[in-house]
Chains A and B, each alone.
Chain A
Amino acid sequence: MASTPAIVIDQLTVHRGGTLVLDAVTCQVAAGSITGLLGPSGSGKSTLIRSIVGVQKVTSGRIDVLGRPAGSRPLRSLIGYVTQAPSVYADLSVRENLRYFAAVVGAAPSDVDGVIRDVGLGGKAGALVGRLSGGQRTRVSLAAALLGAPRVLVLDEPTVGLDPVLRRDLWQMFNGLADTGTTLLVSSHVMDEADRCSELLLLRDGAVLAADSPAAIRARTGTDDLEAAFLALIDAQEVAAR
């Protein structure tokens, strides 16, 4: 990898509710990349993301973000985090939600209208979040993470339930952010989003199955289709395990 990594994960092991969820995960996320975190449901994507933002109790291992241990104080204003379920106040309007989060991260109140526009909610700024559709709520949650122009954006399935046009617009915005040097880690279990990423991290049963660019993964598995590539990697792993 040419650029210095923004996130370095070394031998990360996490147990949840007594079971092993992440098993000695070692991987990196390049600075300025859009890295897709892919894997089946229950493979540990959200757990890995929670560990990176420092809200997950970890058993052992080390995570550095921008050269600092994950969860350390200075990092909290440098990372934007979108939880998998939209985490915004249903009893506040879109703008009231974002004004509050802007105050917490120390972003200018004038940033609020900008991020509302970025996620395509310009017409809904005054609406109560509780009266928005699921996809609209997801976007309010995403907008909150964009406040303060964080250097690292960690997004847990930010495009679930969105239509193709909106997804394209959001990915355009992600690309724009990456162009200005922001590092994005985006989880998804939709394989067609994988192609929009510059790097992929395939997770299965709490372990890294592959970490490479989409092109390299295609070449390695000899298939054009990333979904087929993912399945081929799983088969190869199972053969090796036998």
Chain B
Amino acid sequence: MNVRITMATAGRVLTQLRHDHRTVALLLLVPCLLLALLSWVFDGQPAVFDRIGPLLLAIFPLVVMFIVTSVAMLRERTSGTLERLLAMPLNKLDLLLGYALAFGAVAVVQSSLAGAVSLWLLGLDIAGSAGWLLVTAVLSALLGTALGLLASAFAQTEFQAVQFMPAFVLPQLLLCGLFVPRGAMQSVLSAVSNVLPLSYAVDAMAEVAASTGLTAAAGRDFLVLGAFIVGALVLGAATLRRRTA
């Protein structure tokens, strides 16, 4: 691990984003607009918005960061810059952590904005604190980044990379407890949902939204999320081959 290279990579990824105004606008505004749409849909049922709104604050960052990082990493591969970097004195983990840091920073801004809009403009009413909401959303974004980096190792083209979103993320979305509480699913399904990372992001978000302060249950979910993030990054580094055919 090399802090200089990790930080330089994070800075480089953020600079690339800075040149791409439209992507930045989409990253920051789409979650806000979707939450506004949701609150409008549930105009007559504020209790439903209060339950689902926070969950979406956990789901958006994961989905968005998954897509963005898997495509960014694939571009790195197809443009030859990955080959160049791997021929340079760079640890594979430096590269992945650089990406995680950069998109983690984007997630802080994205989730702060979406959270602020929900709480103070859309009237989202939760018992928990905005701070823990933000922590959960950023962890969820980091998870999406780590999973996206890992998934990109299995994609040869942009088309494949984009298809990984429905393949990897939609099943998790169905099973994460957004539509049906995880305990109320058939036992096979709830067992599957127990090993899917998004379930823990959603559980954590439901928990921090419902309680003041950090509960033991939320703490445990954070630990599981952290383990998934570290695991995906390490696995991502292991699947990134310096020598290719």
- Chain B residue contacts of A104, Cβ below 8 A: 5, 8-9, 85, 88-90
Is there contact, CB below 8 Å, between A103 and B4?
A: yes
Which of these, B12, B19, B80, contacts A100 with CB under 8 Å?
A: B12
Assess whether A120 is interfacial by the CB under 8 Å rule: no
Closest residue to A52 on the B side, CB-wise? B87
Is there contact, CB below 8 Å, between B79 and A89?
A: yes
Assess whether B180 is interfacial by the CB under 8 Å rule: no
Contact bitstring B234-245, A, C-beta under 8 A = 1, else 0: 000000001111
Q: How far is the CA of A126 from the CA of B49 in the complex (A)?
A: 48
- Chain A residue contacts of B89, Cβ below 8 A: 73, 76-77, 104-106
Q: How far is the CA of A90 from the CA of B244 in the complex (A)?
A: 23
Q: Name which of A71, A81, A100 has the most chain B CB atoms within 10 A of its CB.
A: A100
Is there contact, CB below 8 Å, between A92 and B80?
A: no
Is there contact, CB below 8 Å, between A79 and B19?
A: no
Query: How many contacts A-B (CB < 8 Å)?
Result: 79
Residues of A83-118 at the interface with B, using a CB-CB cut-off of 8 Å, are 83, 85-92, 96, 100-101, 103-106
Is there contact, CB below 8 Å, between B83 and A87?
A: yes
Quick one: given A56-B244, A105-B89, are A87 and B12 in contact (CB under 8 Å)?
Answer: no
Considering only CB atoms and an 8 Å cut-off, how many residues of chain B contact the other chain? 25
Is there contact, CB below 8 Å, between B12 and A89?
A: yes
Contact bitstring A215-242, B, C-beta under 8 A = 1, else 0: 0000000000000000000000000000
- Chain B residue contacts of A68, Cβ below 8 A: none
Q: How far is the CA of A92 from the CA of B19 in the complex (A)?
A: 7
Is there contact, CB below 8 Å, between B88 and A103?
A: no
Please list the residues of chain B having a beta carbon within 8 angstroms of any beta carbon in chain A: 4-5, 8-9, 11-12, 15-16, 19-20, 79-81, 83-90, 242-245
A195 CB, nearest partner CB in chain B, Å = 29
- Chain B residue contacts of A31, Cβ below 8 A: none
Quick one: given A56-B243, A92-B16, are A87 and B4 in contact (CB under 8 Å)?
Answer: no
Q: How far is the CA of A17 from the CA of B245 in the complex (A)?
A: 7
Q: How far is the CA of A128 from the CA of B16 in the complex (A)?
A: 10
- Chain B residue contacts of A96, Cβ below 8 A: 12, 15
Quick one: given A83-B84, A87-B81, A128-B19, are A55 and B4 in contact (CB under 8 Å)?
Answer: no
Quick one: given A90-B79, A92-B12, A96-B15, are A101 and B88 in contact (CB under 8 Å)?
Answer: yes
Assess whether A168 is interfacial by the CB under 8 Å rule: no
- Chain B residue contacts of A76, Cβ below 8 A: 87-90
What 9 new A-B contacts, CB under 8 Å, besides A87-B83, A101-B84?
A71-B242, A73-B89, A83-B83, A85-B80, A89-B16, A91-B16, A103-B5, A106-B4, A144-B84
Quick one: given A56-B244, A96-B12, are A91 and B19 in contact (CB under 8 Å)?
Answer: yes
Write 10 A-B pairs (CB below 8 A) sorted by A numbering. Answer: A54-B243, A55-B83, A57-B243, A73-B89, A83-B80, A87-B80, A89-B79, A91-B19, A96-B15, A103-B5
- Chain B residue contacts of A54, Cβ below 8 A: 87, 242-243
Q: How far is the CA of A88 from the CA of B245 in the complex (A)?
A: 21
Is there contact, CB below 8 Å, between B20 and A91?
A: yes
Assess whether A6 is interfacial by the CB under 8 Å rule: no
Q: How far is the CA of A217 from the CA of B88 in the complex (A)?
A: 35
